[in-house]
Amino acid sequence: MAAAASPAKIPGVATTAYLALAFLYIPILIVIIFSFNANSLITVWKGFTTDWYLKAFQNDDLRRATINSLVVAVSATVLSTLIALMAAIGMRGKVPRAVGQSSSFLMTLPLLIPEIVIAIATMSFFFIIGLDLGLGNVLIAHTVFCIPFAYSPIRARIETLQPSLFEAAADLYATPWQSFRRVTLPLMLPGITSGAMLAFITSLDDFIITQMVAPPGAMTLPVYIYSMVRKGITPEINAVSSILLVISIILVVSSYVINQRKAV
Partner 1 sequence: MKIKSFVLAISLAALLSGPVYAANDKKLFIYTWDTYKNDDLFKKFEDETGIDVVTDIYSSNDALIAKLKAGGAYDVVMPSGPYIPLLASETLLQPLPADLQAYGEKMAATVKNPGFDPKNEHSLPLFWGTTGIAVNTKLVKEDITSWDQFFTRPDGEKKSLGVLDDTGTVMDVAALALGKPYCEDSADTYKAIQALLIKQKPFVKVYGATGYVERMAANDIAMQMAWSGDAYLARQQNKDIKYVYPKEGVEVWIDNLAIPSTSKNPENAKKFIEFVLKPENLAAYAEFSGYVPSMDAAKDLMPAEIKDAPEFNVPAGLNAPVSTTCAPKVVKNQQKIWERVLK
Partner 2 sequence: MRDVKNPALWLLSPFLAVMGVFFAAPLLLVVGYSFMTQHYPGGVEFPLTLDAYIKIFYDTDFDGNRVFDASFLMICWKSLQLAGICTILCLLAGFPMAYFMATRPAHQRNLWMMLVTIPFWTNLLIRTYSWMLILRTDGLVNNALIDAGLIKEPLELLYNDFAVGVGLLYSYLPFMVLPIYANLERMDWRLIEAASDLYATRWQTLRKVTLPLTMPGIIAGCILVFIPSIGSFLAPQLLGGGQQMMIGNKIENLFGQAGDWPFGSAASVALMAIVMIGLMIMSRRGGLKELV
Question: What residues pair up with 37 in beta bridges, in sequence order?
Answer: 48
Scan residues 89-128 and list those touching partner 2 (CB under 8 A). Answer: 89-95, 99, 103-118, 120-122, 124-125, 128
Q: Does residue number 182 form part of the binding site for partner 1 (CB under 8 A)? A: no
Q: Cα–Cα–Cα angle for 114, 118, 121, nearest 5°?
A: 135
Site string for partner 2, 15-44 (x = CB under 8 A): -xx--xx-xxxxxx-xx--x-------xx-
**197 makes contact with partner 2 (CB under 8 A):** yes
**Within 159-207, where are the H helices?**
163-171, 176-179, 185-205
| Residue 157 binding partner per list partner 1, partner 2, none, with a CB distance cut-off of 5 to 8 Å that depends on partner kind | partner 2
Half-sphere exposure of 110 (CA within 13 A, CB side): 18
Q: Using CB under 8 A, pick the residue from 84, 158, 188, 212 that binds partner 1.
A: 212
How would you class 77 by CB atoms within 10 Å of its CB: exposed for 0-12, middle for 13-18, buried for 19 or more?
buried
User: Rounded distance, CA 187 to CA 168, Å?
Assistant: 15
Check residue 263 for interaction with partner 1 (CB under 8 A). Answer: no
**Does position 160 bind partner 2 by CB under 8 A?**
yes
Q: What is the nearest approach in angstroms of partner 1 to the Cβ of residue 168?
A: 22
> Which amino acid makes up residue 69?
S
Q: How far is the CB of 37 from partner 2 (least distance, A)?
A: 11
- Asked if residue 51 binds partner 1 (CB under 8 A), the reply is no
DSSP type of residue 129 = H
- Judge whether 52 and 36 are in contact, CB under 8 Å: yes
User: Which residue ranges make up the site for partner 1 (CB under 8 A)?
Assistant: 39-44, 58-61, 64, 67-68, 71, 74-75, 78, 82, 120, 123-124, 126-127, 134-136, 139, 181, 185, 211-212, 214-219, 224, 226-233, 255, 258-259, 262
